[in-house]
Structure 1
Amino acid sequence: MRISVPTIPLLSTRLPPPHRTIEEAVERVADFLYPGNVAILTGAGVSVDSGIRAYRGSDGRYMNPNYKPLFYHQLMDESEEGHAFRQRYWLRSYLGYPAIRETLPNTTHFALAALQHARVVPRLITQNVDGLHHRALNLAPGRQNTDILELHGSLRHVHCKYGHGVDRSTFQDYLSAANPQWKAFADETERTGNKPRTNPDGDVAIESLGTSYTSFIVPACTSCLSEKRINAVHKPEVIFFGESIPQAVKDRSYRDVEEADRLLIIGTTLATFSAFRLLRHAVALGKPTLLLNVGPSRGDNVPELERIDMASGLIMRDVVKAVLGFTALEDPVVAGMLKSGIDKPPEDDTQPWTAEAPK
């Protein structure tokens, strides 16, 4: 089996998008959104201002050249090798998940939630697994989490290979109880602020610690134990490389594009085919498409795709004000959302994380 990590073309046959000032970008995105009934597709770039690093930099390349994601078949392999992969994944995820859990929505999340509340954007599809779109939309009464489609799943839930589910916070407690030495280590990094860098999927790189994964214990599923079965094969409800998106989710993503009049894409290089095919589907249906992102993308060679090279956090609040007009001031929900959201992009630190690993 050969499965590769998605890449994007760094050489495009199209010219770079024209330079726009912030004011020009606000006007263009607002004009695109103003007719309403717009579907939005977001990626990791939307969560950068919340302090979560994107996978790729402004040149389209992985910011960590040694990035080696875990594949679905590795995580679910029941051999000793698969057990080792799960130890690696769950230790790194155990250390990285608190940062995802505690991260707050940023100004773009709340701007998009305001557009959803105002019914300009009835459909939002996200590749992100951090749950930040949901947290922003929670300020809007009457809007449901079903208004957001998580294309690649969510870190909020874990299930075993037999389908028994548990929320992630509870599973985090199980990991802590099974690994008290790592619990003490995590508490110390929290106390000192010497935390590892976290990827958008909650994974952290700990190679610099010089530690082995072999001592990390992945606990058995408690529901399986009640059924007199020992099973410690767990997976978060996210889509791993090499794993198929559930058919119901795929169908819903196509339907969301079909029912919209246009598609706005924000903060993604469209490197994963699950996202790129939604762009292709919209183009095939003759729907206008616009990409707001920094740097090259897989869509650069799609001539129907209009592109604006700019970070969403620079303009989305003003875009909402331009689209909604007086409503942005008079609607207390929208006004509250436009005053909400953090702006704390991750530090540009390239040095390896240093800490003393548990013995």
Structure 2
Amino acid sequence: MRISVPSIPEAILKSANAAQARAILPAEAVDRIAAFLSPGNAAVVTGAGVSVDSGIRAYRGAKGRYLNPNYKPIFYHELMDPSAKGAAFRRRYWLRSYLGYPPVRDAQPNTTHCALAALQHTSVVNKLITQNVDGLHHKSIAHVWDRARMDERILELHGQLRSVRCAHGHMTDRDAFQQQLSAANPQWEAFADELEATGRQPRTNPDGDVVLEGVNYDEFVVPDCPACLAENRHNNIQKPEVIFFGESITKEVKDRSFHDVENCDRLLLMGTTLATFSAFRLLKHAMDLHKPVLLLNLGPTRADGLQGLEKIDIASGVVMRDVVKAVLGAGWTSDPVVADMLQRGIVKPPPDDQEDAAPRVEA
């Protein structure tokens, strides 16, 4: 079985690096995005770039290449392999995820999340489809919408980190699972406490995986599923409710994403290189239906060069608050919910470096 990490075709990267993107002033970008969204009934697709201002690194930088060239994700078939080899992959995955989940869990919505929440609250954006698994779109609007409405209006295309499911279908809350990992690995719980106390946060990928060096993964214990134990069965084959590389999204999620595109009047994509086909095909589907499509991303994408696609090369955090004000006009000040949302949101991007600041375990 040969499975590769999705990437932007090399020809697009070379073309993008050879040609300078046309510089656009923020005010010009605001006007264009606002004009695009003002008719309403828009669907939005977001990617990892939208969460960068929350301190969560994107997979790829402004040149479209992986920021961490040594990134080696675990594939779905590796994680779910019942053999001893699969057990080794699970130990590696869950140790790294045990350390990497808290920074993602504790991340706060940034100004882009809150601006989009304002557009959702006012029904300018009727459906939001996110490739991100960090739950930040939910956090940005949870004080206004209940869970049922969030689940109806926000589709997590690639799943979420908030829960864990075993190979027999039993679900566990992620915080409870973190506690199980802590209880089974007191030495790593102490290490995690030290990281938090010293602020030595590992380099964390958007999926909650971290970079580690000098680690003996064989010593990490992945506990059995408690529900399986209650059924007199040992089973530590567990994964977060996230779509791994090599795993397909469910038919239900795929159909719903297509339905959301089909029922919108226009599609805005933000902070995504569209390297994964699950997102790229949504853009293609909208274009096949002759819907207006606007792509907002800093750097090259898989869609660059597609006829009929309009692209603005700028970071969403630079413009989205002003976009909301331009779309809603003077009315944004009279809506206390919108006014509050436009005051919310952090801007704390991760360090702009290319090196793996990997914590090392003392020998």
Q: TM-score range by the shorter chain?
A: over 0.9
2:140 equivalent in structure 1: 136
Hey, what's the Cα distance between the residues in 1 that align with 2:7 and 2:26? 29
1:145 equivalent in structure 2: 151
| Alpha carbons of structure 1 residues 163 and 72: separation in structure 2 relative to 1, 3 Å | same
| Alpha carbons of structure 1 residues 352 and 9: separation in structure 2 relative to 1, 3 Å | closer
1:348: how far off? 2.0
* Pair 1:7 & 2:7 matched: yes
1:296: how far off? 0.3
**TM-score, normalising length: structure 1:** 0.97
1:355: how far off? 4.2
* Pair 1:114 & 2:135 matched: no
Q: Write out per-residue CA displacement over residues 166-193 of structure 1, whole angstroms, 9 at most, x where no aligned residue.
A: 1100000000000000000000110011
Q: Is the 8 A contact 2:67 2:354 kept in 1?
A: no
Hey, what's the Cα distance between the residues in 1 that align with 2:316 and 2:52? 10
Structure 2 residue runs without a partner (length 5+): none
1:328: how far off? 1.2
SS in 1 for 2:165: strand
* Pair 1:189 & 2:184 matched: no
**TM-score, normalising length: structure 2:** 0.96
* Pair 1:125 & 2:129 matched: yes
1:171 equivalent in structure 2: 177
1:358: how far off? 5.9
Hey, what's the Cα distance between the residues in 2 that align with 1:156 and 1:220? 18
Q: Is the 8 A contact 2:258 2:282 kept in 1?
A: yes
| Alpha carbons of structure 1 residues 253 and 63: separation in structure 2 relative to 1, 3 Å | same
Hey, what's the Cα distance between the residues in 2 that align with 1:51 and 1:19? 26
2:78 equivalent in structure 1: 74
Hey, what's the Cα distance between the residues in 2 that align with 1:99 and 1:337? 23
For residues 13-28 of structure 1, what are the structure 2 equivalents within 5 Å?
Answer: 18-28=22-32
| Alpha carbons of structure 1 residues 168 and 11: separation in structure 2 relative to 1, 3 Å | same
Q: Is the 8 A contact 1:158 1:166 kept in 2?
A: yes
Q: 2:329 aligns with which of 318, 322, 325?
A: 325
1:353: how far off? 3.1
Q: 2:53 aligns with which of 43, 46, 49?
A: 49
Structure 1 residue runs without a partner (length 5+): none
Hey, what's the Cα distance between the residues in 2 that align with 1:31 and 1:18? 20
Structural RMSD (CA): 1.4
SS in 2 for 1:301: coil
| Alpha carbons of structure 1 residues 81 and 141: separation in structure 2 relative to 1, 3 Å | closer
* Pair 1:251 & 2:250 matched: no
Hey, what's the Cα distance between the residues in 2 that align with 1:197 and 1:157? 22
Hey, what's the Cα distance between the residues in 1 that align with 2:176 and 2:362? 23
| Alpha carbons of structure 1 residues 354 and 41: separation in structure 2 relative to 1, 3 Å | closer
1:21: how far off? 0.5
Instruction: Write the letter of the residue equivalent to 1:182.
Output: W
Between 1:186-195 and 1:12-21, the stretch displaced more is 12-21
Q: Is the 8 A contact 1:182 1:358 kept in 2?
A: no
Q: Is the 8 A contact 1:31 1:323 kept in 2?
A: yes
| Alpha carbons of structure 1 residues 180 and 68: separation in structure 2 relative to 1, 3 Å | same
1:293 equivalent in structure 2: 297
Hey, what's the Cα distance between the residues in 2 that align with 1:269 and 1:202? 19
SS in 1 for 2:4: coil
Q: Is the 8 A contact 2:50 2:271 kept in 1?
A: yes
2:92 equivalent in structure 1: 88
1:225 equivalent in structure 2: 229
Q: Write out per-residue CA displacement over residues 287-332 of structure 1, whole angstroms, 9 at most, x where no aligned residue.
A: 0100000000000031111000000000000000000112211111
Q: State the aligned residue count.
A: 357
| Alpha carbons of structure 1 residues 307 and 356: separation in structure 2 relative to 1, 3 Å | closer
1:117: how far off? 0.2
Q: Percent of aligned pairs with the same residue?
A: 63
Hey, what's the Cα distance between the residues in 2 that align with 1:267 and 1:68? 22
Hey, what's the Cα distance between the residues in 2 that align with 1:136 and 1:356? 35
1:336 equivalent in structure 2: 340
Q: Is the 8 A contact 1:42 1:128 kept in 2?
A: yes
Q: Is the 8 A contact 2:43 2:267 kept in 1?
A: yes
1:212: how far off? 1.0
Between 1:16-25 and 1:311-320, the stretch displaced more is 16-25
Q: Is the 8 A contact 2:167 2:238 kept in 1?
A: yes
Hey, what's the Cα distance between the residues in 2 that align with 1:190 and 1:238? 25
1:141: how far off? 4.0
For residues 147-162 of structure 1, what are the structure 2 equivalents within 5 Å?
Answer: 147-162=153-168
1:352: how far off? 3.9
